[in-house]
Amino acid sequence: MSTDIPAQFYDAPDADPDQSQGAPFAQVPPQDFNAEQSVIGALLLSGSPGNASHRYFTEVLETGIRAEEYYRPAHATIHRAVCHLHSAGEPVDAVTVTAELTRRGELARIGGASYLHTCVQAVPTAANGPQYAEIVRAKAYRRAVIGAAQRILEYAHSQEGDEDEVRDLVEQQLTEIIAGTPGLHEAPPAVGDLYLDFVADLEDIQNGKQTGLTYGFADLDILTSGMQPGNVTVVAAQSGVGKSTFALNAAVAAAKTGAKTMFSSLEMSSTELMQKITAAEGKVALHHLTHKGGLTPEGWDTVRRLGPELFQTLPLRVYRPDGASLGDIASAARASARDGGLDLLVVDYLQLVEVEQSRSITREQAVASVSRGLKNLSVQLGCHVIALSQLNDDGLMRESRAIKNDASVVIKVERPDADDKESARAGEVDLVIEKNRFGPTACVTVAAQLHYSRFVDMAQT
């Protein structure tokens, strides 16, 4: 295998021999020059559609290898030219790539046409091209790990930020590393590339397919198209109206469809949440679960049945943070995303979440920071967030402007019988949709069965 290296390759950093025993990051980053040459050679040998070995060309590209993953800049330049010719439907070989590099003014940069032939001679067999590509990608991944570690070290040494900001940086870097090589972004897609997927989604919508996670209430799902990833629903209510009940019902309903869900409560313990789920799903009166001797033999049978039928299969996590910071919640959400995925995050409730405050920041600004943080988290993790918010005695949402700006859907929970126990609408609850980016604003009425800790569609009563 040839290892002739033209001078153009020496613009990559090499280690100082006198520092070989020094700091690990002074060494040459992980790389495999022979594997890089062999990938290029395999592409050049198998790039013509009429070639019997053309399938190896496709298999190399299907590994996902990208130009940015080569350590040697010349190899990255050649790879881009190869991909351009391929996307244009042109044959790929040493001659066509030479012509393309000449057109781009990059031929001299890669060592001339002779270097392309050197790569062709270097590859043992084009059939092993995918394996060579995986070696190159593995080395690129290790370099990315080193880069992430360097960024963490530099930030830690800088003395900037507080402990929460340091932890957030560490978690973001580790999440990117676990998900795949970070920092190698492709150009955003053009609308022409998005069109076919758009039409397919549009057909599903027109045929009645719900595109988001279910809230568990038919009319609410129709009006909002369900809970969309990367978006936030704010559920606002005065104390005692049932916003936590609504959110827990929605979390369980989504989880029962297979959605990976995390419920983070700053008010209720995990035991209280389990009691409420048991009451709602088993139709067991909540007060029977919370008082001594309240369960009948039939009630115990229901609790035992719910174990294998519901709890042991439900992809629902319950998180009660030791503290109450946004960083704690974000950390647990990222951990859930790494361990099986995360589709829905519920935070109960916004005004209890803490952020690092200075003397110059108001409470309104602090809550706005929490709201913005949850919105960013929903985008980063590709999940939907339900954020509960407390209403004041006048029925107004505290810090409402910032919270509403970050939300895609705002639902106010109101009980007509809250102040009038003799109301003709006793047992009804209005879900007032005050903001809806996916449809009209409206009011959905559901039935409150609070002795079972649940709301249900009126049709089920």
281's enclosing H/E stretch is helix 270-282
Alpha helices in 47-190 (DSSP H): 54-62, 73-87, 94-104, 113-122, 129-158, 163-179
Residue pair 63/130 in contact (Cβ under 8 Å)? The answer is yes
Flag whether pLDDT at 356 surpasses 80. no
The mean predicted confidence, pLDDT, of the chain is 84
**What integer pLDDT is reported at residue 7 of this predicted model?**
44
Q: What is the pLDDT of residue 37?
A: 96
Band (pLDDT 50/70/90 cuts) for residue 352 is confident
Residue predicted with more confidence, 14 or 238: 238
- Which is higher by pLDDT, 16 or 250? 250
Strand order in the sheet with 409-414: 316-319, 261-265, 344-348, 384-390, 232-237, 409-414, 428-436, 442-449, 454-457
Q: Tokens representing 25?
A: 């990051």
CB atoms inside a 10 Å sphere around CB 163 = 10
The domain spans of the chain are 7-179, 210-460
Q: What is the pLDDT of residues 308-327, one digit of tens each?
A: 999 999 999 998 877 677 87
Under CATH, which number does the domain 7-179 receive?
1.10.860.10
- Find, among 97, 65, 75, the residue nearest to 84 by Cα: 97
**pLDDT digit string (tens) for 287-298?**
899 888 888 899
Other beta carbons within 10 Å of 117: 15
Q: Is the pLDDT of residue 121 over 70?
A: yes
Predicted confidence (pLDDT) at residue 146 exceeds the cutoff of 80: yes
d(Cα 141, Cα 131) in Å, to the nearest integer?
15
pLDDT of residue 338: 82
Give pLDDT, residue 73.
95
Query: Structure tokens of 407?
Result: 């939300």
Compute the radius of gyration of the chain from its Cα atoms.
Answer: 29
List residues bridging with 443 in a β-sheet: 432
Residue 164 in contact with residue 327, Cβ under 8 Å? yes
**DSSP letter string, 391-444:** B-TTSPBTTHHHHHHH-SEEEEEE-TTSS-TT-TTTTEEEEEEEEETTS--EEE
pTM of the model: 0.63
Asked if the 210-460 domain carries CATH number 3.40.50.300, the reply is yes
- SS3 label, residue 112: coil
Mean pLDDT of 112-137: 93
Is pLDDT above 80 for 341?
Answer: yes
Q: How far is CA 440 from CA 220, 233, 434, 444, in A?
A: 11, 15, 9, 12
Does position 131 have pLDDT exceeding 70, yes or no? yes
DSSP secondary structure letter of residue 311: I
